[in-house]
Structure 1
Amino acid sequence: MARSEINRSGEMEVFVRVVEQGGFSAAARACRMTPSAVSKLIARLETRLGTRLVNRSTRALQLTPEGCAFYERATRILADIEDAERLAGAGEQPVGRIRLNTSASYATHVLAPILPEFLERHPGVTLDLIQTDLVVDLLAERTDVAVRAGPLKSSSLIARKLGDTAMVVVGAPSYLARFGEPKAIEELDRHNRLGFGYARSVDGWPMRVNGGTVIVPTVGRVTASDGEALRRLALGGAGLARLASFTVRDDIAAGRLVPVLEDFNPDDREAFHAIHTGQGGPLPSRVRALLDFLAERGKVS
């Protein structure tokens, strides 16, 4: 078949639908095609590319590494086509869905108060918000932007810094009344130290001792999968927690939580970044709009 006769953008659209819908039948319904036609189109695409893009089974459809790479590029190309048509026809107005992955703490204390402003600025954009403290694979989870805390690993992801925040150990007045306020690190041994239920870059609480830093393990009776859950546990009097200051600033001011062991705080700060895929090329206008907005209004301190 001559190169000019191949509808490559059409093939990409069907392939992307197959991935996002999780199978040929669902994609066929979305594309108003028959499952057989979708299956044959993907087979022709794989033959033309000379590689398998998906592994088929009766239970699930799984992308091959080549399929993952092709999906990432195809979604970017299709988004660029949409942007080009929009720019030529009606100006560069962000339109479409943005899939944003972020922690519950950032969503609650930073994003929620400013989100109405973003939606008002960009009425053509819809937001799909997923909350988790776990590091996700942006490509596998079909995520446009992720807000992550902590040090970044070297990767092909592009990061925009959203500031950094101090860390503080806090406890509820009710908890401190029952168990006492620790005045030295050794006294933490008799306290319930709330921690995360998964591995982090620093697995414990850094504490300053004699000019150096020691790591106090979070040995306690309760762990949680996100920082906001730890905050609520601390508010309820379940134990002490070491949390980002922007999440507990209002609680401290209102007396709901009390900082402890401040003299032993190493003054470390946790950085926040907005992450997206790509190699620095043009972004879909909807994604660029969100990144610009977060850099303007979504910073932590």
Structure 2
Amino acid sequence: MPNLLSETSGLMAFVRTVEAGSFSAAARDLQTTPSAISKSVARLEKKIGARLFLRSTRALTLTQDGHILFERVAPLLRDLDSSDEAIRSEITPSGRLRISMPSEFAPLLLPRLFDGFASEHPNLRLDVGLTDRFVDLIREDYDVVLRVGNPAPADLMVRRLAELPMVVVAAPDFINGMEPPETVEALAAMPFARYSLGGIPQPLRLADGMSFIPSGRVDCDSGAGLIHAARSGLGAAYVLHCLVAQELAAGTLILLAPAIPFPKLPLNVLHAFGQTAPARVKLFCDFMAREAKLLEAV
């Protein structure tokens, strides 16, 4: 491969086009024009003597050579970018920090994030997205993502923050006239507000690895929805203990089957900056690690 040090702008244009999905989106990120991005990529293609994209009126598709170059170059450029920012912001972290977290964590984490982290770092601009879907961290331009469960992407840095216990809860009136479930079979026979992804009800898992698909007439794709349904007496709900601690203390929800062991789910923070994350990302991860321990203890 020819020496590409003279094509830094072309490499940046190429990598951002792949990550953003189009010349237009890459141009917005790099504060230039789609034409300039296209010309930079064309010069790079001429330099290496290979097509990097298959171009059509509707989409850009990476060629095999494009895949190879992206896999080699993208981590290097990210490391250079983040190293430069880390040096510049070591004393006073600044700039935008874009965060994604599950919506049900908002009542627990946002007050701490805004009252603590934001006030400690006044030069940071926070952009917080609340969604229960798994965002594409790179293509959707997030710096850090909080996720519950075991992450799949092998190209992301994962830091485990806490192990959060799961419980089954219901409204007090829900079990009137019923025997409290003391066995897995009795629990499986009860109606649930079910957690559903893409219209598919998800299994309720036990600590020993066993699982079952609960029955019920209410399906939700978020923990917050399950809690509301349970509070309304529409079924039991299988949720994180930290999300219902206040309702349990107030008596608006009660624990079902406390003798049956349920698993703990990992709370992780993910980013794509490799080993040289910017100071703003490191500070956020350290802050969340401290706060997550409080959730673990709830």
TM over 0.5: yes
CA distance in 1, matches of 2:6, 2:34: 20
- How far did 1:26 drift? 5.5
Q: Work out whether 1:266 is the aligned partner of 2:261.
A: yes
Partner Cα distance (2:219, 2:67) in 1: 35
| Cα distance, 1:4–1:149 mapped onto 2, change above 3 Å | closer
The one-letter code matched in structure 2 to 1:115 is L
Contact 2:99–2:128, Cα closer than 8 Å, also in 1: yes
Q: Give the gaps of 5 or more residues in structure 1.
A: none
- Structure 2 counterpart of 1:220: 216
Aligned residue type for 2:264: R
2:205–2:262: 8 Å Cα contact kept in structure 1?
Answer: no
RMSD in angstroms over aligned alpha carbons?
Answer: 3.3
Report the alpha carbon displacement of residue 194 of structure 1 after superposing the two structures with TM: 2.1
2:6 alignment counterpart:
6
Q: Is 1:181–1:260's contact at 8 Å kept on the other side of the alignment?
A: no
Which deviates the most, 242-251 or 54-63? 54-63
SS in 2 for 1:220: strand
Give 2:286's aligned amino acid: D
Deviation track 1:52-84 (CA, whole Å, cap 9, x = no partner) reads: 544433234455644753445434422322333
3-state SS, counterpart of residue 146 of structure 1: strand
Residues 41, 167 of structure 1: alpha-carbon distance in 2 compared, 3 angstrom cutoff: same
Q: Distance in 1 between matches of 2:195 and 2:70?
A: 31
The answer (yes or no) to whether the contact 2:103–2:130 under 8 Å persists in 1 is yes
CA distance in 2, matches of 1:51, 1:13: 17
**Alignment partner, residue 234 of structure 2:** 238
| Aligned counterpart, 2:290 | 296
Percent identical among aligned pairs is: 33
CA pair 119-19 structure 1, distance change in 2 beyond 3 A: farther
Pair 1:251-2:236 in alignment: no
**Counterpart in the other structure of 1:59:** 58
AA aligned to 2:149 is G
Q: 2:86 and 2:124 mapped to 1: Cα distance?
A: 13
Task: For 1:67 and 1:166, locate their aligned partners in 2 and report how far apart those are by CA, in whole Å.
Answer: 43
Deviations 1:219-273 (A, max 9, x none): 222222222221222222221111110110011001111111112x214211212
Three-state SS of the structure 1 residue aligned to 2:40 is helix
Deviation string 1:172-210 (CA, Å, 9 cap, x unpaired) is: 124334x735334444455321222239xx9522357xx
1:249 is aligned with what amino acid? A
Distance in 2, matches of 1:68 and 1:133, equals 29
Give unpaired runs (5+ residues) of structure 2. Answer: none
Partners of 2:25 and 2:267 in 1: CA distance: 37
| 2:82 aligns with one of 62, 79, 82 | 79
* Residue of structure 2 equivalent to 1:143: 142
TM-superposition CA deviations, 1:74-132 (whole Å, max 9, x none): 34422322333x25xxx5322222232222223332x2121111111122222332333
Equivalent pair of 2:162/2:292 in contact (CA under 8 Å)? no
The amino acid of 2:130's aligned partner reads: Q
Deviation at 1:295, TM superposition (A): 1.4
Which SS does the other structure have where 2:197 is aligned? coil
**Which residue is equivalent to 2:128?**
129
Per the alignment, do residues 50 and 121 of structure 1 end up closer, same or farther by CA in structure 2, a change over 3 Å counting? farther
Supply the distance in 2 between the matched residues of 1:274 and 1:162 (Cα, whole angstroms): 7
| Partners of 1:68 and 1:140 within 8 A in 2 | no
**Does structure 2 conserve the Cα–Cα contact (< 8 Å) formed by 1:206 and 1:266?**
no
Q: Does 1:191 align with 2:190?
A: yes
1:287 partnered with 2:281: yes
Matched, 1:275 2:270: yes
Could you say which residue in structure 2 is the equivalent of 1:100?
Answer: 99
| 2: CA distance, partners of 1:150 / 1:33 | 39
1:36 Cα deviation from its structure 2 partner: 3.0
8 Å Cα contact 2:166/2:263 also seen in 1: yes
Using the TM superposition, name which of 187-196 and 65-74 deviates more. Answer: 65-74
Distance 2:238 2:81 in 1: 44
